[in-house]
Amino acid sequence: MPQRYPVTSLASLPTSGGQAFTIAGRRIAFFNVGGKIHAMDDMCPHAGAPLSDGRLNGCVVTCPWHAWDFDVTNGRMPGQNEDCLKVYPVHVTGDQVEVEV
């Protein structure tokens, strides 16, 4: 059964990129897209690059090593129907960001 974990304050998340945290033994990347926070696995399935270090353009993050793109809202490569990365529900209460793992 999923459990909620406190992560950080909303104000501490960058608006132009990602930030990763280790939550319940998983490295999870958080992205602020237009004020909505999204969370997904931080490791690119191609070669293990930290996606939180990638370039964020709208809701798409580009892997910093080999330029693979992932939609942070659903964990998929744009134009693909297969899930690539696990996404996690995010809850914001006041300034506190929480994630369900």
Number of Cβ atoms within 10 Å of the Cβ of 99? 23
**pLDDT value of residue 72:** 98
Enumerate residue ranges in the chain where pLDDT < 70.
none
Neighbouring-strand partners of residue 3: none
**pLDDT value of residue 60:** 98
**How many helices (H) and strands (E) would you count in the chain?**
0, 10
**pLDDT value of residue 64:** 97
Q: What is the CATH number of the domain that holds 37?
A: 2.102.10.10
**pLDDT value of residue 83:** 86
**pLDDT value of residue 48:** 96
Domain count, the chain: 1
Reduced to 3 states, what is the DSSP secondary structure of residue 74? coil
**pLDDT value of residue 84:** 93
Could you list the residue range(s) of the whole structural domain that residue 26 is in? Answer: 4-100
